[in-house]
Amino acid sequence: MNILCVGAGLSGAVIGRHLAEAGHQITVVDSRSHAGGNCHTERDADTGVMVHVYGPHIFHTDDAEVWDYVNRFETFKPYKNRVKSTTRGLTGEQEVFSLPVNLHTINQFFRKTMRPEEAHDFIVNEQADTSIENPETFEEQAMRFVGKDLYEAFFKGYTIKQWGMHPSELPASILKRLPVRFNYDDNYFFHQFQGMPENGYTPMIEKILEHENITVKLETEFTPETGAEYDHVFYSGPLDGYFGYELGRLGYRTLDFERFTHQGDYQGCAVMNYGEEEVPFTRITEHKHFAPWEEHEGSVLYREFSRLAEPGDIPYYPIRQVKEKALLADYVKLAEQTAGVTFVGRLATYRYLDMDVTIREALDAARGFAACLEKGEAAPAFFTAPL
């Protein structure tokens, strides 16, 4: 079959590769001038630093098939994400703490030397607000779990900046369980496999796309008319965009990156969060620390600001509140009435997806499509339901 994949990010590349290996002719189009989607990396010409152009990306997964898959196309170097945060301590002075909130953070914040059980009892019995029986908001949930001091220092300001909403307006479900650790483990992720592609994500995704049955067309905008020339379309662009936003726009947060350079080491770590509400940015990322096996004198940094996406902005984080989900349901109905198109990936299913989940879903979609062909059935609009 002649198949069109819209988007040269992980979704389009993995689906395209799988179907190309099965003998189909694949065309991959992307409106951008590079492959890689939002995982795109690029070496800075002046400093030689590998820059995560659309924000920092750390690969982490428990999915062994996905881990084997990415290692087939690129060497992964060991990398653990260890995040720091500035915020005001109990004295009101700005200090640097370890994240996620762990035993080191708790001991430093409260000026104590507690062991794990002592810290657990201290947080649960002396800090947590147990008068809140059925927390409904993010704020109530955080107050009930960790109490006012840690909530205000580490969760409140950051959340307001990240989501543009007060935690009292966000649902409790965002904080599902006790968001602190009572040991000194400061590895941000729990996953078994964690790492960073030695040469960046874009060369890895370009290698996925390198197959005799795949043609890649960059700087090529998809239109439904182009889609009609193919036997099937896998679309990884924005769901509302496919339908010309005819029902309205799905809400997203976007990010503005204020890029700056520095001679030497600016902050000594890859990610420094800013928990204080009065600091307008959420974090600073120093890209050379994502490749600790490389040495660079110069440094490239991003100050990251979050705001509501306007038409024309890059959509980063889907908002997915009640209003957005109602609109999403309407777009899902439209998609289900559209023959010959399968909607895939983070934008077309309007979900935040880590890279490993994106690859898992792309492999499942490609296999699901092959199974439909075998049975003589039409492929569905979604292999993973957006709602």
Annotated active-site residue in 17, 79, 235, 283: 283
Please give the distance of CA 228 from its chain centroid, rounded to a whole number.
32
Q: Is 354 a catalytic residue?
A: yes
Q: For residues 85 and 127, which CB has a smaller minimum distance to ligand FAD in the complex?
A: 85
Our answer to whether residue 177 is catalytic in this structure is yes
| Angstrom distances, CA of residue 206 to CA of 9, 131, 198, 234 | 9, 55, 14, 18
Q: Kindly state whether residue 261 participates in binding ligand FAD, applying the rule CB under 6 A.
A: no
Which listed residue (181, 346, 351, 360) is catalytic?
Answer: 181
Which segment (103-111, 127-135, 167-175, 344-352) binds ligand FAD by CB under 6 A? Answer: 344-352
Give catalytic status of residue 259 as yes or no.
Answer: no
Q: How far is the CB of 59 from ligand FAD (least distance, A)?
A: 6
Q: Where does this chain touch ligand FAD (CB under 6 A) — which range of 18-26, 52-60, 154-162, 179-187?
A: 52-60
Kindly tell me the burial class for residue 228, based on how many C-beta atoms sit within 10 Å of its own C-beta (0-12, 13-18, 19 or more): exposed
Question: Using the rule CB under 6 A, which residue among 171, 354, 364, 368 binds ligand FAD?
Answer: 354
Site for ligand FAD in 75-104 (CB under 6 A): none
Q: Kindly tell me which residue out of 6, 272, 279, 335 binds ligand FAD, with binding defined by CB under 6 A.
A: 6
Nearer CB in complex with ligand FAD: 74/140: 74
Task: Look up residue 361 and give its two tokens.
Answer: 């879903």
Choose between 153 and 348: whose C-beta lies nearer to ligand FAD: 348
- Out of 42, 43, 48, 55, name the contact with ligand FAD by CB under 6 A: 55
Tell me how far apart the alpha carbons of residues 346 and 358 are, in angstroms, rounded to a whole number.
Answer: 7
| Integer Cα distance of 155 and 282 in angstroms | 11
Residue 351 falls in the annotated catalytic set = no
Task: State phi, psi for 300 to the nearest 5 degrees.
Answer: -120, 130
Q: Which residues contact 191 (CB under 8 A, 6 or more apart)?
A: 60, 61, 62, 356
* Among 315, 290, 312, 309, CA closest to 300: 290
- Work out which of 28, 29, 250, 284 binds ligand FAD, going by CB under 6 A: 29
Distance separating alpha carbons of residues 312 and 241, to the nearest angstrom: 11
Binders in 295-324 for ligand FAD, by CB under 6 A: 316
Query: Which part of the chain contacts ligand FAD (CB under 6 A), choosing from 19-27, 50-58, 135-143, 179-187?
Result: 50-58
Judged by CB under 6 A, does residue 30 bind ligand FAD?
yes
**Catalytic residue (choose from 32, 253, 303, 367):** 253
Pick from 262, 259, 260, 270: nearest CA to 298? 262
Closest separation between CB of residue 196 and ligand FAD, Å? 10
CB of 228 to ligand FAD, least distance (A): 15
Residue 136 among the catalytic residues: no
Task: Choose among 52, 330, 80, 335: nearest CA to 195.
Answer: 80
Query: Considering the rule CB under 6 A, would residue 8 count as an interface residue with ligand FAD?
Result: yes
Question: Which candidate in 46, 177, 278, 374 is catalytic?
Answer: 177
CA distance 217 to 379: 24
User: Which of 63, 95, 276, 354 does the annotation list as catalytic?
Assistant: 354
Report, in Å, the least distance between residue 149 CB and ligand FAD. Answer: 29
The three-class DSSP label of residue 252 is strand
Q: Which is it for strands 193-197 and 25-29: parallel, antiparallel or unpaired?
A: unpaired
181 is catalytic: yes
Strands (E), the chain: 2-6, 25-29, 41-43, 50-52, 59-61, 76-78, 84-88, 94-98, 193-197, 214-217, 232-235, 252-263, 271-274, 283-286, 298-308, 317-318, 341-343
Residue 96 beta carbon to ligand FAD: minimum distance, rounded to whole angstroms: 22
User: What is the separation, in whole angstroms, between the first and last Cα of the chain?
Assistant: 30
Site residues (vs ligand FAD, CB under 6 A): 6-12, 29-32, 37-39, 55-59, 221-222, 236-237, 241, 255, 316, 345-347, 353-356, 358
Active-site residue numbers? 177, 181, 253, 283, 304, 352, 354
